């Protein structure tokens, strides 16, 4: 149908998922919800699949019909539904894979961000040289202009840590990620110095997991958690063979929150972590 979105963003898809969850919790079918709203069941399906937007008036009517009394959640969903932001990442649409844009949009709207990395310095902390080395090592090899496009995109993502609207950020980094040299010795030295510099900011916390930590286990793949306006709207991500996947089910979010707490508890305190990185830098 005319006017339908060809490729909904992850944020638009998530809005539809949350509305479907509210409907399921109310025990209503799509047809019943449509009748209460005075629209066709096709329209409800399009809203829930992210193919069509929903006005504030209709969203609030749906919340009433679904007997949802969580005012903070409703207001957050209204903000999602009515937001018409076209951020800086839009210049990369159809130039970079959609997940790159979805991640930036998620970061832009996040209330906080947490990363756990075992083999790479987190993207938000990377220097230009380190990011270029990371993208250049991909298989199959990317053309030089594609590498530069991705590097520029990654550098612009830092606005959430260094721009006008800062968010609290915590990174837990394994010693392996700090020791692996994606580029040359100079690239690694500059990268470690940059991590140390950023870790001094009040809104940024960096923790290190050393090799000699006893009994550490349970979390051996990269994790990301982005805070929503309410905890129910948090989003996590984990790398998989087919690429990064976003996670929004409450059960899986609960598991990942537990893993984050476990990793955080096992890591060195921020001051000890800075001392640790200083020692690594001196070895270069």
Tens of pLDDT, residues 178-232 = 999 998 999 999 999 999 999 999 999 999 999 988 767 666 778 999 999 999 9
Region at 48 (left for phi over 0; alpha for psi -120 to 50; beta for the rest): alpha
Instruction: Let me know whether 143 and 49 are in one domain.
Output: no
Mean pLDDT (the chain) is 92
Q: Which of 53, 82, 111 is the last residue of a domain?
A: 82
Name residues whose C-beta falls within 8 Å of residue 216's C-beta, 6 or more positions apart in sequence: 209, 266
Range of the domain at 244: 88-283
Domain count, the chain: 2
Most distant CA atoms of the chain, gap in Å: 69
Asked if residue 95 belongs to a domain, the reply is yes
Q: What is the mean pLDDT of residues 270-279?
A: 97
pLDDT of 140 over the 70 cut: yes
pLDDT of 19 over the 50 cut: yes
Question: Which of the four pLDDT bands, split at 50, 70 and 90, describes residue 238?
Answer: confident
Tens-digit pLDDT profile for residues 208-221: 999 988 767 666 77
Percent of the chain at pLDDT above 70? 95
Name residues whose C-beta falls within 8 Å of residue 165's C-beta, 6 or more positions apart in sequence: none
CATH number at residue 239: 3.30.870
Instruction: Let me know whether 105 and 203 are in one domain.
Output: yes
Strands 204-209 and 169-174: parallel
pLDDT of res. 71: 97
């Amino acid at each position: 149908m005319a006017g339908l979105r060809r490729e909904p963003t992850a944020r638009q898809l998530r809005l539809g998922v949350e509305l479907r969850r509210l409907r399921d919790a109310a025990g209503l079918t799509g047809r019943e919800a449509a009748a209460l709203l005075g629209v066709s069941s096709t329209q409800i399906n399009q809203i829930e699949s992210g193919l069509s937007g929903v006005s504030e008036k209709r969203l609030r009517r749906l919340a009433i019909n679904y007997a949802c009394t969580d005012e903070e959640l409703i207001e957050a969903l209204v903000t999602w539904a009515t937001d018409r932001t076209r951020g800086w990442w839009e210049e990369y649409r159809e130039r970079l894979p959609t997940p790159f844009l979805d991640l930036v949009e998620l970061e832009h709207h996040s209330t906080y961000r947490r990363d756990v990395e075992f083999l790479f310095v987190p993207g938000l902390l990377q220097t230009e040289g380190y990011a270029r080395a990371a993208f250049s090592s991909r298989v199959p090899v990317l053309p030089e202009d594609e590498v530069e496009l991705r590097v520029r995109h990654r550098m612009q993502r830092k606005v959430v840590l260094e721009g006008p609207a800062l968010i609290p950020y915590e990174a837990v980094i394994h010693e392996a990620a700090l020791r692996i040299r994606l580029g040359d010795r100079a690239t690694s030295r500059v990268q470690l110095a940059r991590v140390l510099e950023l870790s001094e900011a009040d809104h940024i916390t960096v923790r290190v997991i050393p090799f000699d930590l006893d009994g550490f286990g349970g979390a051996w793949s990269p994790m990301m958690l982005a805070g929503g306006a309410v905890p129910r709207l948090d989003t996590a991500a984990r790398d998989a063979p087919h690429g990064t996947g976003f996670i929004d089910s409450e059960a899986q979010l609960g598991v990942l929150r537990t893993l984050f707490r476990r990793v955080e508890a096992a890591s060195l305190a921020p001051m000890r972590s800075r001392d640790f990185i200083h020692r690594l830098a001196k070895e270069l």
